[in-house]
């Protein structure tokens, strides 16, 4: 997740006003982490290492 967070900090695809906002980045990281947990629980296959 750390690599994903670092990538988000430099990603130009985020909206101008939210780009590099720590709160926005943490929200994205939390969402992906939650999704990865759901995948693992439903398929017994980890999405993330």
**pLDDT tens per residue across all 49 residues of the chain:** 788 888 877 776 666 665 667 888 888 889 999 999 999 999 999 887 6
**How do the domains of the chain map onto residue ranges?**
2-43
17-47: b (≥16 Cβ within 10 Å) or e = eeeeeeeebeeeeeebeeeeeeeeeeeeeee
Q: How many residues does the chain have?
A: 49
Q: Determine if the pTM surpasses 0.95.
A: no
């Amino acid at each position: 997740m750390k690599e994903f967070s670092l990538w988000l900090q430099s990603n130009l695809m985020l909206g101008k006003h939210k780009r590099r906002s720590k709160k926005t980045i943490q929200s994205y990281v939390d969402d992906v982490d939650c999704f990865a947990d759901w995948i693992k629980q439903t398929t017994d296959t980890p999405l993330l290492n």
